Amino acid sequence: MLKLLKQVLRHTDYDKREVALTFDDGPHALYTEKILDILGEYDIKATFFLLGEHVRDYPDIAKRIVAEGHTVGNHTYSHPNLTTLTHEEIHDELTRTEQEIILATGIRPKLFRPPYGEFNELVLQVAGEMNYKTVYWSQDTNRSLDTKDWAGPIAEEILQHIKNNICSGGIVLMHDGGGDRTQTTIALAPIIEFLQNENFTLVPLH
Ligand SMILES: [Zn+2]
């Protein structure tokens, strides 16, 4: 388990003044395109962890994410807690999502993020067997770059959370799907401007 745990990506390079913005649970009919518009205005690349069932419903938005230079990752098909599933069921969740992403974008994702951040040895094993790199977000005893935007904070609180917790090499977790993400879309431009003023380069994950 320890060896597998060490392979989970929780930050990029601590020595580089860079931050990776990540968005989970899309594509969403409304919020994903809004977020893409804002990222485009600032010419910034981010990472989107897509749900297979939403790629099936919005393949054109998935295609746009890739066309605009962002990274897409596998966030399972139906957002289960993977620690409750068998090897075969986990494999099926990842495979079906992979197929939808390939169909929509022509790209086979290399990154995987487990729903709810919930994983166990079996989840990491299956992801590894399928050549996925498992991605978490930056979280240790001192800080967490989970903005918890899913819990309903206003935009100013999302921004403040990032200001309080940011670090070099940080991976920030936000959401473009799974609920009303109006506050996330409002917070995004101020977040980008704050990070750029602090001389962080915003990078996609690979
Ligand atoms: Zn999720």
Q: In angstroms, what is the span from residue 185 Cα to ligand 1's centroid?
A: 17
Taking residues 164-179, report their average pLDDT: 97
Domain formed by 2-199, architecture: Alpha-Beta Barrel (3.20)
Cα 114 to averaged position of ligand 1 atoms, centre (Å):
7
- Mean pLDDT computed over 45-57: 98
* C-alpha span between 129 and 37 (Å, rounded): 36
Cis peptide before 27 (omega within 30 of 0): yes
Q: How far is CA 30 from CA 17, 36, 58, 108, in A?
A: 32, 11, 11, 25
CA 23 – ligand 1 centroid, Å: 9
Identify whether the C-beta of residue 54 lies closer than 8 Å to the C-beta of residue 28.
yes
Dihedral angle computed from the Cα positions of residues 80, 36, 193 and 197, in that order, rounded to the nearest 10 degrees: 90
| Residue found under tokens 């994983």 | 119
Chain-centroid distance of CA 179 in Å reads: 15
69 CB neighbour count, 10 Å cutoff: 13
Q: Each residue of 94-136: pLDDT tens digit?
A: 999 999 999 999 999 999 999 999 999 999 999 999 999 999 9
User: Residue 15 catalytic?
Assistant: no
Distance from the alpha carbon of residue 120 to the mean position of ligand 1, in angstroms = 16
Per domain, the residue ranges of the chain are: 2-199
State pLDDT tens for residues 54-89: 999 999 999 999 999 999 999 999 999 999 999 999
How many CB atoms sit inside 10 A of residue 37's CB? Answer: 12
> Has 175 been annotated as catalytic?
yes
